[in-house]
Chain A
Amino acid sequence: MANIAAQRIQREFREVIKSEEVAKCHIKLELKNDEYTELKGEIAGPPDTPYDGGVFQLDIIIPETYPFNPPKVKFITKIWHPNISSVTGAICLDILKDQWAAAMTLRTVLLSLQALLSAAEPDDPQDAVVARQYKEQQSVFRQTAKHWTYIYAKGPHREAELEAKVSQLRGMGFEEHKARVALSTCDWNIQRATDHLIS
């Protein structure tokens, strides 16, 4: 079984390298070892989304039973999205679970993840905090997601106002990422974020 998995990844890898998406820098795939069991994926944030201009890295583990079972994929780059855990990078996407089909490929997975960034499914959330914000405060959500893209995924949009708030909490002695998570969680209300960090 391991044989077909490796063989398939080899062939898939060659296809992806040649594909037009790679040419346009939309997706990228790299091998992490010679056994074809671990790969690094990369997707560009889709245009007209808060992720536009960002580059998101993914950890891909190929199970022995691939392609009959889906690859294990998670985000390495921190991201603010209702279907992706802001803590672990775990992804909630049907094709990575029960809707996986043997005829799908890593290319289709990467493209599906890109599609997920364009169209979140807040009713089927992985990260309940982000999903709530997405549904209740769309503009705060977009700003937060842009800010995270800028900080963690080399995005182009600086959110100066948000950065100032993070610095303010850092000045109080909180660690930067923790401060950002608390502020993001509390819709950038400094007082509530501080309480959140203390409790």
Chain B
Amino acid sequence: MDSEEEMYDESEEEEVSDDDHNMVMEPEVSSTTATYDSQDETYPHEVLSPEMIVQHMIDCIKDVNTIVELPATITRILLNHFKWDKEKLIEKYYDGDQEKLFAEAHIISPSRRGQASGSSNQVSVSSTTRSTRSRAAATGRSADCEICFSTLPTTVMTGLECGHLFCEQCWSMYLTSKILHEGISETISCPAHVCGILVDDATVMRLVRDQRVRLKYQHLITNSFVECNRLLRWCPAADCGRAIRVNYVDSKPVTCTCGHRFCFSCAESWHDPVKCFWLKKWVKKCDDDSETSNWIAANTKECPKCQVTIEKDGGCNHMICRNQSCKADFCWVCLGPWEPHGSSWAALQRYLHYCNRYMNHMQSLKFEHKLYAKIKAKMEEMQKHNMSWIEVQFLKKAVDVLCQCRQTLMFTYVFAFYLKKNNQSIIFEDNQRDLEQATEQLSEYLERDITSDILIDIKQKVQDKFRYCDTRRSVLLAHVHEGYEKELWEYQGSL
């Protein structure tokens, strides 16, 4: 049996005639063990592989079930209703009105279930036909399915605890359509009109035979589990598929086993010193203004009116096309008519100043990743020239520091953009300038001087520089953090 296909331990299930109906799930014991990043020791987090996510979900359900003692798939729906907050569920379950709770979660209260179903979460055919709530016209041994409009034997009619019966084939097609075409899983309800009772996992597994659909269903359920759960977050790296689990939510860095380091709170790359709120605002601004900032890349443009190619030779952005038949009056930056410009010019210039630097560091950071390969080759070469392995490690460390500095610098510009000028912001800008200069020097050493043959000389130079950069970066961040604590920062624009 393919383990990925199975989801819950349903030992109580009555119909075990078909082995496939059984939903015992034994997730593969993953070789991926919980990893704690030494760098982020202050914020403990655990990386979960896809198998571990499923196991974690099952554990959550089991945890709750030792207390509430409900069928697993019902507990799953309840937990989903409470966004996987176990404490809240248990509190509401014991303190509040249970009937109301079940109604809100769109499930039939287990106390009102037919005797035949007993402790089972599955509606057996015999129990539902006995149900007087059935809307299907049960005449003798046949009934009408309200979906396909066929008159069929009652043995193929089935449904949820609400008692609305449809034929198995229609159920299967209904579920397939919801799962495959609409991509929904935890919110599929009974197909009867105004019946909101939710379909449970066991029913889906019982009625859907197609492996592809079953697999998709399980992926959707896992996905909703991670997305609803405050303490879990998908690693945003492409095709990673792992999730990070924390004990409490904070805007702190977490590192996935795939190497991606990001902010748990907003899922952006780790962005110290700027806070999530301002970064989000910035990213949105950049997206909105991408047209205006793109001009930086281009040296020439076309006249918006006559399409003649123009090179700007300096000064003001108020352009007048020299093409005698055109003479268009336009803004160099946005290529729109000049008229609305003027006072907003300063604001745009200011934005472009920060945007330029932010983009530059982002671009450089991408290049530095290529540097790793170059450095590795260099390190091997140095080892051939009677240097030991340990002696050449400084190079890798230098690139690490360089990347960290670039990343920090990138976000300092977002931070600075929204900052109001005061004494502290001047200190911050000094720190920023100092770190930026040092970082650029380090970058230069690693790009160029490393090719020189006098290795001993450059070793000292590189080591001094990266240590300086590292210290300056810590100083800058410590200053910003201190400012957060003492509320020294004032912002432009509303919170």
Q: Which A residues are within 8 Å of any B CB, using their own CB?
A: 1, 4, 7-8, 11-12, 15, 65, 67-69, 95, 99, 101-104, 108
Is B370 part of the contact surface with A, judged by Cβ < 8 Å?
A: no
A11-B149 contact, Cβ under 8 Å, with A68-B178, A103-B164, A104-B193: yes
Bound form: Cα–Cα A95–B458 in Å:
75
The minimal Cβ–Cβ distance linking B160 to chain A, given in whole angstroms, is 13
A101-B177 contact, Cβ under 8 Å, with A11-B149, A67-B147: no
* CB proximity to A under 8 Å, residues B190-227: 191-195
A65-B177 contact, Cβ under 8 Å, with A4-B148, A103-B146: yes
The minimal Cβ–Cβ distance linking A35 to chain B, given in whole angstroms, is 18
Q: Are the C-beta atoms of B193 and A8 separated by less than 8 Å?
A: no
Bound form: Cα–Cα A99–B191 in Å:
10
Which A residues are CB-close (under 8 A) to B192?
A: 101, 103
A101-B173 contact, Cβ under 8 Å, with A4-B148, A11-B149, A67-B147: no
Q: Are the C-beta atoms of A101 and B149 separated by less than 8 Å?
A: no
Which B residues are CB-close (under 8 A) to A1?
A: 173, 177
Q: Which B residues are within 8 Å of any A CB, using their own CB?
A: 146-150, 164, 166, 170, 173-174, 177-178, 181, 191-195
A-B CB contact pairs (8 Å), 20 listed: A1-B177, A4-B173, A8-B147, A8-B148, A8-B149, A11-B148, A11-B149, A65-B177, A65-B181, A68-B178, A69-B177, A101-B193, A101-B194, A102-B170, A102-B174, A103-B164, A103-B191, A103-B193, A104-B193, A108-B193
The minimal Cβ–Cβ distance linking B167 to chain A, given in whole angstroms, is 11
Q: Are the C-beta atoms of B177 and A68 separated by less than 8 Å?
A: yes
Which B residues are CB-close (under 8 A) to A101?
A: 191-195
Which A residues are CB-close (under 8 A) to B148?
A: 4, 7-8, 11
Of listed A7, A11, A12, A101, residue having the most chain B CB within 10 A = A101
The minimal Cβ–Cβ distance linking A103 to chain B, given in whole angstroms, is 4
Which B residues are CB-close (under 8 A) to A69?
A: 177
The minimal Cβ–Cβ distance linking A36 to chain B, given in whole angstroms, is 13
The minimal Cβ–Cβ distance linking A27 to chain B, given in whole angstroms, is 18
Which A residues are CB-close (under 8 A) to B164?
A: 103
Which A residues are CB-close (under 8 A) to B173?
A: 1, 4, 68
Of listed A4, A65, A101, A103, residue having the most chain B CB within 10 A = A103
Bound form: Cα–Cα A67–B169 in Å:
13
The minimal Cβ–Cβ distance linking A4 to chain B, given in whole angstroms, is 6
Give the A-B contact count at a CB cut-off of 8 A: 45
The minimal Cβ–Cβ distance linking A68 to chain B, given in whole angstroms, is 4
- SS class of chain B's interface: helix, strand, loop or mixed? loop
Which A residues are CB-close (under 8 A) to B178?
A: 68
Which B residues are CB-close (under 8 A) to A8?
A: 147-149
The minimal Cβ–Cβ distance linking B188 to chain A, given in whole angstroms, is 11
Q: Are the C-beta atoms of A102 and B147 separated by less than 8 Å?
A: yes
Q: Are the C-beta atoms of B149 and A12 separated by less than 8 Å?
A: yes
The minimal Cβ–Cβ distance linking A188 to chain B, given in whole angstroms, is 40
Which A residues are CB-close (under 8 A) to B191?
A: 68, 101-103
Which B residues are CB-close (under 8 A) to A102?
A: 146-147, 166, 170, 174, 191
Nearest B residue (CB) for A14: B149
The minimal Cβ–Cβ distance linking A172 to chain B, given in whole angstroms, is 37
Instruction: Given contacts A8-B148, A103-B191, list 17 more A-B pairs with CB under 8 A.
Output: A1-B177, A11-B148, A11-B150, A15-B149, A65-B181, A67-B147, A68-B177, A101-B191, A101-B194, A101-B195, A102-B146, A102-B147, A102-B170, A102-B174, A103-B164, A103-B166, A103-B192
Bound form: Cα–Cα A65–B150 in Å:
18
Bound form: Cα–Cα A1–B181 in Å:
12
Which B residues are CB-close (under 8 A) to A103?
A: 146-147, 164, 166, 191-193
The minimal Cβ–Cβ distance linking A196 to chain B, given in whole angstroms, is 30
Which B residues are CB-close (under 8 A) to A67?
A: 147
Nearest B residue (CB) for A68: B177
Bound form: Cα–Cα A65–B178 in Å:
10
Bound form: Cα–Cα A69–B180 in Å:
13
Q: Which 7 A-B pairs have the closest CB atoms?
A: A102-B191, A11-B149, A68-B177, A101-B193, A103-B146, A103-B192, A102-B147
Bound form: Cα–Cα A108–B194 in Å:
13
Which A residues are CB-close (under 8 A) to B149?
A: 8, 11-12, 15
The minimal Cβ–Cβ distance linking A75 to chain B, given in whole angstroms, is 23
Which B residues are CB-close (under 8 A) to A104?
A: 193
Bound form: Cα–Cα A103–B170 in Å:
10
Which B residues are CB-close (under 8 A) to A65?
A: 177, 181
Of listed B148, B177, B192, residue having the most chain A CB within 10 A = B177
Nearest B residue (CB) for A67: B147
Bound form: Cα–Cα A103–B146 in Å:
5
The minimal Cβ–Cβ distance linking A157 to chain B, given in whole angstroms, is 35
Which B residues are CB-close (under 8 A) to A11?
A: 148-150
Bound form: Cα–Cα A15–B150 in Å:
12
Bound form: Cα–Cα A95–B192 in Å:
12
The minimal Cβ–Cβ distance linking B194 to chain A, given in whole angstroms, is 7
Nearest A residue (CB) for B136: A103
Which A residues are CB-close (under 8 A) to B193?
A: 95, 101, 103-104, 108
Bound form: Cα–Cα A67–B170 in Å:
10
The minimal Cβ–Cβ distance linking B144 to chain A, given in whole angstroms, is 10
Nearest A residue (CB) for B190: A101
The minimal Cβ–Cβ distance linking A97 to chain B, given in whole angstroms, is 13
Bound form: Cα–Cα A170–B95 in Å:
71
Bound form: Cα–Cα A12–B150 in Å:
11
Bound form: Cα–Cα A7–B191 in Å:
18
Bound form: Cα–Cα A11–B192 in Å:
18
